[in-house]
Structure 1
Amino acid sequence: MKPFSTWTLTVGLSAALAMALALAAGFVVSPAAAQSVGWQARWDGGLVDSSARGWDIAEGPNGNIYATGEIWNGSGRDFLTLARNAAGDLLWYRVKDGLNESNDVPAHLIVDGNGHVIVVGTATRSTASWMLTVAYDAAGNELWSRTNKNPAYRWNVAKGVAVDADGRVVVVGEISNGSTKWTSLVSYDSTGDLLWERQRELAPDDGCVAMDATGVLAVAGRSNGSPYDFLTVAFDASGAELWARARDAGENRNDSVHALVLDGNGRFVVTGISETAASGKDILTVAYDVAGTELWAATRGGPGDQESWMIAADASGNVFVAGTPSSGLPNSALLIVSYDSAGLERWAVTVPDGVGESSTATDMAVATDGNVVVTGRHYGAIMNDVHALTLKVSGATGAAIWTRIRTPAPGRRDSVAGVAAGASGASFVIGSSAVEYLSDDVLAIAYDSSGNELWARGEPEVPADDVPGSQPDNRGRRAIATGYDGRVYLTGTSFDGYTLDYMTVAFDAWGNKLWEARKSNPNDAQAYPSAIAVDPANGNVYVTGTTRSFGGNAFLTVAYDRDGDELWSRTRHGEAHGDDSACCIAVTAEGLIVVTGTSDTTATYTAPGMLTVAYESGGNEVWSDEWGPGLFRAGFTSSLTLGTTGTVYVGGSTNVGGGPAGTLTVAYDALGNRLWWQSHNSDDEVSDFILALAPTPDGGVAATGYTDPYVNENVLTLVYGPDGTERWVAIADSAASGWDVATAIVVDAAGRTFVTGWTYKTDYSDPDFMTVAYDAAGGLLWSKERGGIPGGDDYAGTAALGSHGTLFVTGSSDNGTSMDFMTVAYSPGGYELFEHRYDGGGDDIGYLAVAGPDSSVFIGGVSDGADRDFFVYQLFDGTGLFADGFVSGDTTAWSAVAP
């Protein structure tokens, strides 16, 4: 389903009018806070029907049903939490993005005695993962959210959660850097404040956590080493270890716990798999009292493998284990075994299937009447014939009470992941209904005590994620433009429920939305715009980025007229037809549209190269140049700018001769002839990278990025003349000598060069804005580091020069609970004129800036309220009220304050 869109507008006073009113009212002019907001606008892509899966379900004390799962946002997954009443009516839903641009997958949900809903799972980025915990009240208001990562371990995966009568939450996770796995315990109070953390050498299995009424917590899994054994460890309410019990079945082979339960007598019972020489795998179940004394152990073997995967217990201490029976039994694939409180087997049943069919269990629960509900998947005799399976057996005898194999809609596969037993005797199951290779829907089903289906529900439509520039990184900084009739343009991704599309939005000079245009990949693949440019002569708008194409990724460039109607689009591969990614676009004085990016080179040199393509206004390719074979490898293209004399400059990095990476700057004339190229290495032992370019007044080019001496990066800036002569090079190090990266560069009419980015402390924490200024000869003028709250994360994304020389540095800043847009304005002499923040209530990530009229700047990025939206506003610096020379040095700005 394609989304509808909405937009909002707020109009403020101009700087001149604000000043006039202030003076007329008798206010006093004083330093700082000269800024005023002209207008602000938000673009929201509306509601979409997205792919989602359900993973866990529970009933609250109010009788409402709470479920959690994952939902696709176009580029990753987020937590989805749903609340329904007993009749299946949707009460509320919440989508949670844990770390901005992370893959967030919930694992477990639990409801405490106050009706608070606790969801735990894992937030993953490409090189690490965090445990994510979110708490909601019964009405769906977020109470708190926490991420936790042990700094010594790359992977931190949530495995379970427990909560006590006081609302104290303990999250259990698996932490590792490889094959050896440890358990991480993280405890929060009812408000989300951290109480304690513990680590224990133990590989925990999913869901193997239980807490008794006194706050004793048991965690189970397997020991490390070979062979490994059952291992159960108990902790008190303060996190102190009480006892640990390893259990070997007796043959010194591998034994691993797969499930744990607290029975009605307050005992911890674990079950899992024990390897044997005779039968391969047996079911081993062991019970411990609260002091760790082993009360009983039961082994169940057979002629073939028997495996247990889940466990439940009733109020009398009877235990129920579900798994797979002996492989020697025909046409049966689901086993349920019951033990009494002394560990004696009461009964065992297998669930028969038809010829060629099979069933597997995924969860089980004990109903209020003492009977056992098991849920899972039933596989038919033909491929992809998958059904949701729910069955109920007698807790006393194991006799079948009812079985429901739910027939999915044509072309779908249904499966169930979790079950909850309701106080009224109803059973609630959660899972997904999938269309092969397309999408999934949440599948929630309620059965009464007799097995009659009460209702079945999917997930609701959710707000679309809309992100300018596709993501807030170096590509995202080029997703804003002006240049025709005072208009402002943003481009980025908008989620249509299935995939990401290009979305371009135009606003007039007062912030009114003029038009929006969506561009989808013809094959419904992802499309990521990265940059936008406008032809000031006719108002045509050009957007470029990357999309999936046959054989790999390709450049995708789209042209619109001034009214937003598509003129043409072009997909462009490099000569190797591999993975090609466009970063930048510009319109020359002759009306050529120049696109550049990273491209696979020839089959002989398959590492990244540099591809630059020029189109005339009708979309015909005029010239192209691809670098790679014989020159460099393992490079990337990051930036594009037009010189004041019409030269096209492209920047990136390269490995000339196969050594450490060096910068690469290439100059072309308007016809695509290569004028010169230069590579710079600070020395033979470091790598240098360009991330941004800017033209100099004399027709040359300035570049910035970072140099990496393998310890801490430093900001690298270099300037070339129009003929490629290296004018000067400067390296800037922060006060803390931490990790310093420049992401943006601007040069004023006097040849002064301003670079901005961020600096980390030496422990790679607490990043702050870092801005450095040089004179025309490369001499250091000033360097500023600027943060928000102490210890907060502050990232400068880009910079722009106002018409009166004000330098606007914008990015995102931590306010203690979320991120804000933060813009800091400096005079050319380095005096801080003001700081401006925008807080939309959620995470607001600023990384776009472009100069506007009357010494204003347009600030943009993504604003996260109910969902992520395009957001842009106009910010005046107030200096236009005075002579241009007012901000030429370390002078003061002004603000109106009451006398």
Structure 2
Amino acid sequence: MKILFLCVVILSSASLTIANDNPLWTSRYSGITTGIDEVRGMVIDNTGNTYITGRSQGSGLNNNYDIATIKYNQNGDSVWVKRFNGGGMGLPVDEPHDIAVDNLGNVYVAGFSIGQDMTSDFITIKYNSIGDTVWVRRLTGDIGINQIAYSLDVDGIGNVYVTGTGGGNYLTVSYNSNGDFLWSKTYNGIGNDFDAAYKLKIKNGFLYVTGISRSVFGSSISADYLTIKYTLLGDSVWIKRYNGTDNNYDEPEDMFIDNSGNVYITGFSRNTSSAESADYLTIKYSSAGDSLWVRRYNGSVSGLDEAKSIAVDNSGNVYVTGRSVSSNGYDYATIKYSSSGVEEWVQRFNGLTFNSYDEANDLALDRFGNVYVTGTSQGTTMIADFVTIRYSPQGTMQWLNRYNSPANREDAAYFIAVDSLGFVYVSGNSVGSNLVADFLTMKIDKSTNIEPFNSSIPDNLSLNQNYPNPFNPETKIKFQISNSSEVTLTVFDNVGREVAVLLNQFLIAGNYEFNFKAKGLSSGIYFYRLSSENFSETKKMILLK
């Protein structure tokens, strides 16, 4: 397996510094058969554990899907794997949509399970820290009525809150720590049509849910953002509806609540009745439910722009990411707004092939205000990879991590988290050699020593002698490229065997410095080769341990 970790700081349009730190670990889950396994949620705890849930094909009737939940320790080792099969008839499908963990290490999963009547039921599962099933709660509607849970959260005393759709209405349910039913609330919108809550958050003793609510009966092209604030006893505090341009379709994708109780929601809002024309749509409400500002982002060309994730820093700055159409594809598009809604910067990532398909799916912040974005991006062979980017609070790209699976198949990251030490966790789906998707989770160490380098654009391609030389165990390799191109930097031992691929990437013209760490190599003579288009140069270096 070759995993490239590219760490960059953009000092100007022509100056980048690279380091070859690989992810600390990657873990793949291929299920119990050769079927499809797809991640649906990820969460981390305060002690370095990572929890993943998703749907996984089993060995039963019709290759049914089970709910598969995994706990990894801080080293990426699987602590436990639990599968849930609801035992439904006909089409036995069980699928999660969200996962949470409490301060005691209990794990909660919510989704749906096809019941005996072949309709879907709310399903909520609680596992303890060692993976034992504490309780399972199935909420069944009337005959023929589907109920699907999309999001959940846990309060400080272990009460669980789940939201989704039931019978075409918002359905929000609360259980205590023992799984006893506490209350349920429904919301039927003004259109008396389909309503579904997609996100639920708890903050400062209140519960917030948001989703879509069709505003015109029988119209699939007219829907609004619909946000409700409840007390933890289920009493409604306020309900807010946002109806965008010309009564068209508006759908929220993510929600964030800050420490003051301000509510931030992002998603997309169609400009017309066409599904191919939409903008990012971000709203800030006060704790009292007043609309403080609404911002639309229309991208670089008119077309489909969809925000997927939102986060807010301690100063109230708002960060949104998603996919935005360009002239020949889709780009990552990440935006920073001030607390008052002023657009501070927009950063677009157009991938390696420039005009490929690039889609950001999730975003997280660290305690310093750095912005981490992950998603899927087509590589030079037009096969999609995990791509994770870190931006400074000022919008400067600091590093980019691209992961191409061993099978060189499609990889798509959907979830990202950053812990208090700055370690980055990413999870998504990765197609393996059997041509079906697996869960793929990785932990990235971002702590790399980065130094500025000359910002001038060189006249030609050249490779410098590493320094220091001899070295133990690290050395710096500088090189210059005069034209943007595919670049490889490879290390060989003294008999010509390839021992490391440091770089295999499209780079813009500029001056580069690579920090080579040779901790896994023994003392001896090595050669490093730079190749780019019609250029190739090799130099010798000596490792003395």
Report the AA paired with residue 150 of structure 2. Answer: C
- Counterpart of 2:225 in structure 1 is 663
Report the AA paired with residue 674 of structure 1. Answer: S
1:533 maps onto 2:96 in alignment = no
Find the aligned partners of 2:513 and 2:321 in 1 and give their Cα distance. Answer: 26
Structure 1's 880 and 573: CA in aligned 2 closer, same or farther, altered over 3 A?
farther
1:598 is aligned, of 150, 165, 186, to: 165
- Counterpart of 1:811 in structure 2 is 375
Q: Cα offset for 1:516?
A: 0.5
- Counterpart of 1:775 in structure 2 is 338
Q: Cα offset for 1:866?
A: 2.1
1:897 is aligned, of 505, 510, 515, to: 515
Q: Cα offset for 1:648?
A: 1.3
- Counterpart of 1:701 in structure 2 is 263
Task: Report if aligned partners of 1:589, 1:646 keep a CA contact under 8 Å in 2.
Answer: no
- Counterpart of 2:202 in structure 1 is 642
What whole-Å deviation, never above 9, does each CA across 1:834-855 have from its counterpart, x for those lacking one?
1110001221111111222411
Find the aligned partners of 1:697 and 1:34 in 2 and give their Cα distance. Answer: 38
Find the aligned partners of 2:118 and 2:237 in 1 and give their Cα distance. Answer: 32
Q: Cα offset for 1:828?
A: 1.6
Structure 1's 717 and 632: CA in aligned 2 closer, same or farther, altered over 3 A?
farther
Find the aligned partners of 1:609 and 1:468 in 2 and give their Cα distance. Answer: 26
Find the aligned partners of 2:169 and 2:513 in 1 and give their Cα distance. Answer: 51
Between stretches 792-801 and 575-584, larger displacement belongs to 575-584
Find the aligned partners of 2:142 and 2:232 in 1 and give their Cα distance. Answer: 22
Structure 1's 641 and 685: CA in aligned 2 closer, same or farther, altered over 3 A?
same
Task: Report if aligned partners of 2:49, 2:71 keep a CA contact under 8 Å in 1.
Answer: yes
Between stretches 645-654 and 33-42, larger displacement belongs to 33-42
Structure 1's 783 and 630: CA in aligned 2 closer, same or farther, altered over 3 A?
closer
Report the AA paired with residue 467 of structure 1. Answer: E
- Counterpart of 1:523 in structure 2 is 88
Structure 1's 787 and 503: CA in aligned 2 closer, same or farther, altered over 3 A?
same
1:692 maps onto 2:251 in alignment = no
Task: Report if aligned partners of 1:32, 1:833 keep a CA contact under 8 Å in 2.
Answer: no
- Counterpart of 1:735 in structure 2 is 300
Q: Cα offset for 1:623?
A: 1.6
Find the aligned partners of 1:790 and 1:11 in 2 and give their Cα distance. Answer: 21
Find the aligned partners of 1:845 and 1:629 in 2 and give their Cα distance. Answer: 35
- Counterpart of 1:39 in structure 2 is 25
Report the AA paired with residue 99 of structure 2. Answer: I
Q: Cα offset for 1:522?
A: 2.2
1:826 maps onto 2:391 in alignment = yes
Report the AA paired with residue 578 of structure 1. Answer: I
Q: Cα offset for 1:580?
A: 1.5
Structure 2, unaligned runs of 5 or more: 8-14, 452-511, 517-540
1:614 is aligned, of 174, 192, 204, to: 174
What whole-Å deviation, never above 9, does each CA across 1:741-785 have from its counterpart, x for those lacking one?
0011111111111111101236xx511111111000111011122
Q: Cα offset for 1:574?
A: 4.5
Question: Secondary structure at 1:738's aligned position in 2?
Answer: coil
Q: Cα offset for 1:896?
A: 4.7
What whole-Å deviation, never above 9, does each CA across 1:79-109 have from its counterpart, x for those lacking one?
xxxxxxxxxxxxxxxxxxxxxxxxxxxxxxx
1:554 maps onto 2:121 in alignment = yes
- Counterpart of 2:39 in structure 1 is 468
Report the AA paired with residue 45 of structure 1. Answer: G
Task: Report if aligned partners of 1:754, 1:774 keep a CA contact under 8 Å in 2.
Answer: yes
What whole-Å deviation, never above 9, does each CA across 1:115-137 have from its counterpart, x for those lacking one?
xxxxxxxxxxxxxxxxxxxxxxx
Q: Cα offset for 1:468?
A: 1.0
Structure 1's 859 and 880: CA in aligned 2 closer, same or farther, altered over 3 A?
farther
Higher relative contact order, chain-length normalized (CA < 8 Å, sep 6+): 2
Q: Cα offset for 1:787?
A: 1.6
Question: Secondary structure at 1:559's aligned position in 2?
Answer: strand
Find the aligned partners of 1:623 and 1:877 in 2 and give their Cα distance. Answer: 44
Q: Cα offset for 1:630?
A: 6.0
Structure 1's 631 and 853: CA in aligned 2 closer, same or farther, altered over 3 A?
same
- Counterpart of 1:482 in structure 2 is 44
Structure 1's 736 and 862: CA in aligned 2 closer, same or farther, altered over 3 A?
same
Question: Secondary structure at 1:37's aligned position in 2?
Answer: coil
- Counterpart of 1:796 in structure 2 is 360
Structure 1, unaligned runs of 5 or more: 1-7, 16-28, 49-462, 470-478, 601-607, 883-893
Find the aligned partners of 1:556 and 1:824 in 2 and give their Cα distance. Answer: 35
Find the aligned partners of 2:144 and 2:47 in 1 and give their Cα distance. Answer: 39
Counting aligned pairs with the same residue, the percent is: 27
User: Superposition pairs for residues 158-197 of structure 1, below 5 Å?
Assistant: none
What whole-Å deviation, never above 9, does each CA across 1:765-819 have from its counterpart, x for those lacking one?
5111111110001110111221211232111111111233221110011112421
User: Superposition pairs for residues 861-880 of structure 1, below 5 Å?
Assistant: 861-867=428-434, 868-878=437-447
Structure 1's 575 and 779: CA in aligned 2 closer, same or farther, altered over 3 A?
farther
Q: Cα offset for 1:723?
A: 1.2
Task: Report if aligned partners of 1:806, 1:855 keep a CA contact under 8 Å in 2.
Answer: no
What whole-Å deviation, never above 9, does each CA across 1:583-618 have from its counterpart, x for those lacking one?
111111232111111221xxxxxxx21111111111
Question: Secondary structure at 1:854's aligned position in 2?
Answer: coil
- Counterpart of 1:24 in structure 2 is none
Find the aligned partners of 2:513 and 2:155 in 1 and give their Cα distance. Answer: 40
Find the aligned partners of 1:12 and 1:33 in 2 and give their Cα distance. Answer: 10
2:67 is aligned, of 502, 525, 532, to: 502
Report the AA paired with residue 361 of structure 2. Answer: G
Q: Cα offset for 1:11?
A: 12
**TM-score, normalised via structure 1 length:** 0.46
Find the aligned partners of 1:852 and 1:40 in 2 and give their Cα distance. Answer: 17
- Counterpart of 2:480 in structure 1 is none
Find the aligned partners of 2:74 and 2:232 in 1 and give their Cα distance. Answer: 31
**TM-score, normalised via structure 2 length:** 0.74
